[in-house]
Chain A
Amino acid sequence: MQKMLNEEIQNQLRQVFAEMKEDVTMVLFTQEGECYSCEETMGLLEEVEQLSDKIHLKKFDLNKDVEEAKKYNIEMVPSFVLLNSQGEYQGVKFNGIPAGHEINSFIPALLEMSGVKQDVPADFAQRIAKIDKPVNIKVFVTLSCPHCPGAVQKAHVLAMLNKNIEGEMIEAQTFTDLSNKFNVSGVPKIVINDKYEMVGNQPIEEFLAQIEAM
Chain B
Amino acid sequence: MSFNFNFNINETKKAVKLINDTIYDLLVIGGGPAGLNAALYAKRKGLTTGIITQRIGGQLLNTSSVDNYLGISQVSGEELSEKYLSHLKELDVGILEEAEVTIVEKIDKLFNTTLKDGTIFQSKTLLLATGSAPRKLEVPGEVEFSNRGVAYCAICDAPLFKDKNVIIAGGGNSAVEAAIDVAKFATQVTLVHRSQLRADQILIDHMMNQSNITVFLQTQILQIVGDDKMTGVNVLNKETSQERVIEADGIFIEIGNLPSNVLVKDLVTLNLQGEVVVDEKNMTSLSGLYAAGDVTQMPYKQIVIAVADGAKAALAANEYINQNF
Contact = CB atoms under 8 A, between A and B. Distances in A.
Given A145-B153, A147-B153, A185-B250, A103 B158 contact: no
A77 interface: no
A99 B3 contact: yes
Given A4-B3, A183-B229, A107 B12 contact: yes
Contacts of B6: 100-101, 103-104, 146
Contacts of B202: none
Given A107-B11, A183-B147, A201-B55, A148 B5 contact: no
Nearest to A19: B12
B12 A142 contact: no
B156 A104 contact: no
A185 B228 CA distance: 12
B157 interface: yes
A186 B156 contact: yes
Nearest to A44: B3
Interface string B1-37: 1111111110110000000000000000000000000
A18 to B, nearest CB: 11
Nearest to B12: A16
B103 interface: no
Interface residues of B, number: 39
A100 B147 contact: no
Interface string A4-41: 11100100110010010000000000000000110010
B177 interface: no
A204 B171 CA distance: 36
A131 interface: no
B279 interface: no
A173 B160 CA distance: 7
A107 B61 contact: no
A143 interface: yes
A121 B62 CA distance: 29
Contact of A148 (B4, B57, B156): B156
A100 B160 contact: no
B194 to A, nearest CB: 24
A119 B155 CA distance: 30
The 10 closest A-B pairs by CB, nearest first: A99-B3, A145-B156, A186-B147, A142-B159, A146-B61, A103-B5, A146-B78, A101-B6, A104-B11, A103-B7
17 contacts: A6-B5, A9-B5, A100-B3, A101-B78, A103-B5, A104-B7, A104-B11, A107-B11, A143-B159, A144-B155, A147-B153, A150-B55, A173-B160, A185-B151, A186-B157, A186-B160, A187-B157
Given A9-B7, A103-B8, A146-B61, 16 more contacts: A6-B5, A101-B6, A104-B6, A104-B8, A142-B159, A143-B3, A144-B158, A146-B62, A149-B11, A173-B162, A184-B160, A185-B157, A186-B146, A186-B152, A187-B156, A187-B157
Interface of A: 2, 4-6, 9, 12-13, 16, 19, 36-37, 40, 44, 97, 99-101, 103-104, 107-108, 111, 121, 142-150, 172-173, 179, 183-187, 189, 199, 201, 203-205
